[in-house]
Amino acid sequence: MEKLEALKISSMRPRSNILDRPLSKGKSEVSQSIVALLFSEIVQYSQSRVFTVPELQTRLHELGQDVGTRIIDLYFVRERSSKRETKLTQMLLFVKTTVWKNLFGKEAEKLEHANDDERTYYIIEKEPLVNTFISVPKDKSSLNCANFTAGIVEAVLTHCGFPCKVTAHWHKGTTYMVKFEDFVIARDKQMEEK
């Protein structure tokens, strides 16, 4: 009898739409092994359609851009109370913390500004999740699957009004080099003066 009443009560609760749930509550719904399996399939699928490592990295970057576009749209649909960042440093911190936590369950390790170029920033991640479960053959040792993540970051920043190019490099683990358009830096300086 108690089970029947509990069943009635649970069926009377309003069910929330998946698009209405915050991203931060959804990260524990998918296991890392499933993500690893799906990403490994993406890499294998992409690899079967290209001939060289640079082509494969470009393909992964393009797929990452598609994901990044959808991620930022989904974030702003779900998190209605969040504000749109207008300053470059705040936007980069948003990517390093919020975007990274929603995608990978943790923040990126570091965010650095290049000493010699005001347009260049680095997001550093020692062990990217996308490289963790990929076995790279010796003949493709230069392959960095983190180009997928670089595509995501590029799409997020570009669609938030900070056009840039993002590339992944083997340095201190994986370093994402973010190179902004000149007008983004000029706009940010102008905003600081006000």
- The rounded distance, in Å, linking the Cα atoms of 130 and 12 is 41
- The rounded distance, in Å, linking the Cα atoms of 156 and 164 is 10
Write down the CATH superfamily of domain 32-193: Trafficking protein particle complex subunit 3 (3.30.1380.20)
Q: What is the pLDDT of residue 21?
A: 65
Please check whether residue 148 is in contact with residue 61, taking contact to mean a CB–CB distance below 8 angstroms. yes
Q: Which residues contact 140 (CB under 8 A, 6 or more apart)?
A: 53, 56
Q: What is the pLDDT of residue 27?
A: 46
Q: What is the pLDDT of residue 128?
A: 87
Q: What is the pLDDT of residue 18?
A: 64
The pTM score is 0.81
Q: What is the pLDDT of residue 140?
A: 76
pLDDT in tens, 2-33: 555 554 555 555 566 666 666 555 445 567 78
Domains of the chain, by residue range, sit at 32-193
- Can you list the residues of the chain whose pLDDT is less than 50? 7, 26-27
**Given the DSSP bridges, would you call strands 174-180 and 120-125 parallel, antiparallel or unpaired?**
antiparallel
